[in-house]
DNA sequence: TCTTGTATCTGTAGCGGCTACAGATTGCAT
DNA sequence: ATGCAATCTGTAGCCGCTACAGATACAAGA
């Protein structure tokens, strides 16, 4: 990762679609390694950095937390097995599915209730009723 | 809301299943009105406070943001029409549906990819491949 | 070489929606 | 009077960024 560091943070940002501030943030929290610098102190990145950042971005797009990405990168760096990676992914999948379940419950309640609204200028509203309800006392 | 303020914050917390710290937080941000106090400075709540807090908790359970709840409470306090409330709810519904769509896309990608994993001790992993990919260049 | 304009630097604070302390005070029962 | 629980205020932390301010560095043109 030392050789052929030949572009700056702006270029890296453009080529990965990751915000400059976010790149520096990832470095600060140890997700992206500190790159070499110019004499003046500007960061210089290589292809390897770019690839790692793309990995991070893709993982974020798939909803992995920073901690999970840390794990994944650790595995990828240090000779992983498919089983190990799969375990992280399946665990994350559980989280996602729980969130979907929660959101779908919200959606159903809201959609059903809003459908019962007369709308317009009526001074009564089923939605207000639902929000005022305490469900399980 | 001044009369018959006859229970403390612990009691309110128990009766609404809202954390004590959260109750004070809601007061601080102006979601729950500042209640009267004892001589020593302890908060004293009434039925009206409890109802309002239940409304807030229900709204949070349905995913409304604090800002949206502010709006809803404003409407409810000041003579709402069904149409106004419905508008807030339908807008929120859109947000929820967008989140569900996003999560489902994550779920599908992850589930599909994990299904292609050989698992075990194989040193190759389709998940790593997917995470390394830049989708739309 | 000098200047201009952009890029980058560090450090800090803010977002939302809480949660978790520390350290002081109050309330109530014995 | 005493002991202990409840409550008080104020501040800092969580996540994953984002947005400044104010100081430098760099690259291109005159």
Q: What is the pLDDT of residues A61-90, one digit of tens each?
A: 999 999 999 999 999 999 999 999 999 999
- Predicted confidence (pLDDT) per residue in B40-75, tens digit: 999 999 999 999 999 999 999 999 999 999 999 999
Please state whether the predicted TM-score (pTM) of the whole model is above 0.75.
yes
A56 phi/psi in degrees, rounded to 5? -60, -45
Cα–Cα distance between A57 and B42 in angstroms, integer? 49
**At CB < 8 A and 24+ separation, what contacts does A129-133 make?**
A130/B58, A131/B55, A131/B58, A131/B59, A131/B62, A131/B72, A132/B51, A132/B54, A132/B55, A132/B58, A133/B54, A133/B58
B1 pLDDT band (50/70/90 cuts)? very low
Q: Å between B23 CA and C19 C1'?
A: 12
In chain B, what residues touch A103 (CB-CB under 8 Å)? 63, 96, 99-100, 103
Residue B49 contacts residue B35 (beta carbons within 8 Å): yes
Q: Å between B13 CA and C24 C1'?
A: 22
Which of these, B41, B38, B50, lies nearest to B13 by C-alpha position?
A: B50
Cα–Cα distance between A48 and A44 in angstroms, integer? 12
Instruction: Compute the nearest-CA separation of A64 from chain B (Å).
Output: 10
- Domain extents for chain A? 1-64, 81-118
- Predicted confidence (pLDDT) per residue in A98-135, tens digit: 999 999 999 999 999 999 998 889 888 999 999 998 76
Q: Given a cut of 50, is residue B37 above it in pLDDT?
A: yes
Q: Is B66 on the interface with A (CB under 8 A)?
A: no
B135 pLDDT band (50/70/90 cuts)? low
Q: Say which CATH architecture domain B1-64 belongs to.
A: Orthogonal Bundle (1.10)
């Amino acid at each position: 990762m030392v050789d052929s560091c030949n572009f700056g943070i702006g270029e890296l940002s453009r080529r990965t679609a990751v915000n400059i501030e976010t790149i520096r943030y990832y470095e600060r929290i140890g997700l992206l390694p500190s790159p070499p610098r110019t004499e003046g102190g500007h960061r210089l990145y290589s292809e390897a950095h770019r690839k790692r950042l793309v990995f991070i971005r893709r993982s974020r797009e798939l909803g992995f937390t920073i901690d999970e990405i840390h794990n994944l990168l650790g595995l990828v760096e240090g000779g992983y097995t498919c089983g190990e990676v799969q375990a992280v992914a399946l665990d994350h999948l559980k989280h996602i599915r729980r969130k979907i379940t929660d959101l779908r419950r919200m959606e159903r309640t809201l959609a059903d209730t809003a459908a019962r609204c007369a709308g317009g200028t009526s001074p009564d509203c089923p939605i207000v009723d639902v929000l005022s309800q305490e469900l399980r006392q």
